[in-house]
Amino acid sequence: MKYRELGKTGLSVSEIALGCEGFAGKTDSQADELLSFAADKGMNYMDMYTADPAVRTVVGRNNHGRFHIQGHLCSVWQDGQYKRIRDLRQVKQGFSVLMDELQLSFLDVGMIHYCDSLADWQVIIDNGILDYALELKKKGVIGHIGLSSHNPVAAMRAVESGSVEVLMFSVNPCYDLQPPSEDVENLWAESAYEHVLYNMDPERQKLYEACARAGIGISVMKVYAGGDLLDASLSPAGIALTPVQCLHYALTRPAVATIMCGAHSVEELAGAVAYEDASDAQKDYAASFASMSRIHWEGHCMYCGHCAPCPVGIDVAQVTKYLNLCKAQGTVPETVREHYATLANHASSCIGCGACEKRCPFKVSVRENMKQASAVFGF
């Protein structure tokens, strides 16, 4: 298992992590089997978005301290079903119940649950929910503050607040093309894919790059789009991708640290863990993306690595990623400059041979990007 830094939290988390939906209806022995398999494979991070007391309790009894937990504030169980709340009194009561059910005295990441609109973010501030999260952090009850969202505009506002350290966000190659919306169902609505879509939505790109600059770690949800991307008859892209391709796409986005994989069985979880031993050919999503009839990525660097090898050893994908971070910021952040400086070869070494452009499945103007990077960084 490979591990990544979760932004600036100081937590080193497994890049393949554990979702919680697969624990619904599990007995203690079944939950322990799933948790033990995950731990044996090196997973050390888990999301607990659900308010279902049965799921929380069975995980709490069988975790035994093996996983860092990101638990969600504002997610409670009422009348036999999940409910998102914004009343501070209920939020406090719900958090107490969460900790009791998980048998925890400390929560690694406290997620403010499901904010998809600017108005809702304002409610979170006005109702004292953000202040409550900050208070819990100050008291040492939670280690870090997070937020879960599907809307890049709302998520960006939270990121800009300076209080959020971890963002749980939906990342996959279909949702990434959709414009911001306060209605999460628009991400998978058939009508959203009736017309040809071109390249990543700029608000999403801006969000990922802002998180990378600020050191905010992204934990990914919906990496398979609820399974739709794995089935050609359901996929908005019109073709089926493999789990490994979906995971690799998300893990190559800026700021992404870990992917929460929901699994109902050891076999399903093993399918996600197989990413760690997958070959470069199995991870490669470029040919599949290029064949999508209703989605086009032309001219947009996907950091897929097909441009390699460069005859003078430039890591073209990494240079382009740093260049894009600077373009989004409108300046050269010191951290980005430092990372660029550590590269073995820089954009100024480009000899303009064009071999990279001949190999690029997305027709990116690589030589122009190298010229721009050389000018931006000065070497």
Position 236 confidence tier, pLDDT thresholds 50, 70, 90: confident
**Range name among 30-44, 121-135, 205-219, 324-338 with the lowest pLDDT average:** 324-338
**CATH architecture of residue range(s) 3-278:** Alpha-Beta Barrel (3.20)
pLDDT digits (tens, 9 = 90+) for 1-31: 999 999 999 999 999 999 998 898 999 999 9
- Residue 276's nearest CA partner among 17, 25, 12 is 17
pLDDT digits (tens, 9 = 90+) for 155-209: 999 999 999 999 999 999 889 989 999 999 988 888 888 777 777 888 999 999 9
Asked, as a colleague might, if the bond just before 173 is cis with ω within 30 of 0, I would say no
**More confident position, 256 or 189:** 256
3-state secondary structure of 68: strand
Q: Contact, 14 vs 43, CB < 8 A?
A: yes
Q: Parse the chain into domains and list their residue ranges.
A: 3-278, 316-377
Residue type, 294: R
Position 295 confidence tier, pLDDT thresholds 50, 70, 90: confident
Report the 3 state secondary structure along 173-231.
CCHHHCCCCCCHHHHCCHHHHCCCEECCCHHHHHHHHHHHHHCCEEEEECCCCCCHHHC
pTM for the model: 0.84
pLDDT digits (tens, 9 = 90+) for 114-157: 999 999 999 999 999 999 999 999 999 999 999 999 999 999 99
